[in-house]
Homo-oligomer: A and B are copies of this chain.
Amino acid sequence: MKVVVFLPSVRDGRNATRVRKFIEAQLKSKYETSVLDPAELDLSMLKMPLHHYQDRKKIPKVLLDIEAKMTAADAFLVVTAEYNHCIPPALSNLLDHLGPSLFACKPSGIIAYSMGPYAGMRAAVQLRCLLSELGTLSVPMILGIPLVHTSLDDGGKASNPHLEPGLATLMKQVDWYATALRNHRDKVGVFARNIGE
């Protein structure tokens, strides 16, 4: 199963790298993961989303690469931090660049982290809405990583004993939905829709 992981931050001293390493290490035996990291992608602030280009030749290479990874994926993991109780702009900017057809009828799992005790849960519930509108329904469980700077070390190793079993439970749900939806896509295709419909 192929999973694309979205990261939320380009901030100096960001904790996203710890979370990335944690996810990659936990998933590597069972999943083929590729990571969309805003710090590597270097997208500008949104001027035109992928699905608004009339001429595919004008689509920037960075978006075509993302498109290829997402088209191959069975599911998404979307990692969010929390800035002022809301979704970090580096994450919404990445997601908003992408059209609904890339997300259609594939599930997602939300992982929220923060340096405080509440694990970014306020951003996570906003993110549910963003993902739903894009067409990827997030599974019931939200994995929270509170006190991320101490719960995960630099190498992504978890000292918080809830995190490894928590990610396993999240993946069980993502797996269930990814398989259910893939089977049905293979049978009848996706339903077409327009954003805002």
A interface residue numbers (CB < 8 A to B): 10-12, 38, 45-48, 83-90, 92-93, 95-96, 100, 105, 116-119, 121-122, 124-126, 128-130, 132-135, 137-141, 144, 146, 169, 172-173, 176-177, 179-181, 183-184, 188, 190-191, 193, 195-197
Contact = CB atoms under 8 A, between A and B. Distances in A.
A124 B93 CA distance: 18
Q: Tell which of A86, A128, A177, A193 has the most Cβ of chain B within 10 Å.
A: A86
Contacts of A196: 116
The 7 A-B pairs with the shortest beta carbon distances in the complex, nearest first, are A180-B184, A89-B93, A89-B89, A137-B137, A89-B92, A84-B133, A85-B133
Most buried by B among A100, A122, A181, A195: A122
A88 B87 CA distance: 10
A121 B193 CA distance: 19
A83 B96 contact: yes
Contacts of A119: 117-118
Contact of A38 (B45, B118, B146): B45
Given A96-B83, A96-B84, A169-B197, A129 B137 contact: no
Contacts of A116: 196
A147 B118 CA distance: 12
A87 B177 CA distance: 27
